[in-house]
Amino acid sequence: MSRLHSRRTFLAGTAAATLLPALPLAADGHEPVTIEMLNRHPTDRSLRNVFYPRVVSVPAGQKVLFKATDRGHNSASIDGMIPEGAEEWSGRINEDLEVTFDVPGIYGYKCTPHVGTGMVALIVVEGEGKLDNLEAAQDVRQRGRAKKTFEEIWEEAAEMGLLEPSSA
């Protein structure tokens, strides 16, 4: 058993070390940040229908590529969970979608066919006024597993320091 545990620990550590540099916590604005739409989480196979990563911080003007890695998914903004003046989006199922995030703020999004199973995620666009729509975004009523998933996402974003005022 300890041999199995050691192997799992090694594999988990290797996966984390490999993925950590690739996580798009802040990009340079040139290459798109990639968010995968997956049937199963890459490291926790018990989690199904996920965006990976599910919390991302980018500078204003950053392009994000929603990658249709697995079939049956799309990315669409959630009504009431994007900043004033920002453009809504709704990608087609099974197709990649690139969106440029020009307006600082909080952006909640979903996979239209899987929102009820909790396939939702968050992008925080850095810049002056990034928290202006935070309260409104948190007040949007979520249904099904999306409610629990957003509770986890808000905690995760807070732990990452993303829900604090920008130091400009």
- The pLDDT assigned to 51 comes to 98
Angle, CA 53 vertex, CA 122 and CA 90 arms, to 5°: 50
* pLDDT tens digits for range 113-128: 999 999 999 999 999 9
Q: Where are the domains of the chain?
A: 22-159
Q: Are the CB atoms for 55 and 91 separated by under 8 Å?
A: no
pLDDT > 70: percent of the chain: 82
Instruction: Please name every residue paired with 106 in a beta bridge, in sequence order, or none if there are none.
Output: 124
Pick the CATH number of 22-159 from 2.30.42.10, 1.10.3720.10, 1.10.8.420, 2.60.40.420: 2.60.40.420
Stated pTM of the model: 0.82
Confidence of residue 28 (pLDDT cuts 50, 70, 90): low
Tokens of 44: 């926790």
Terminal Cα-to-Cα distance of the chain (whole angstroms): 51
Q: DSSP class of residue 79?
A: T
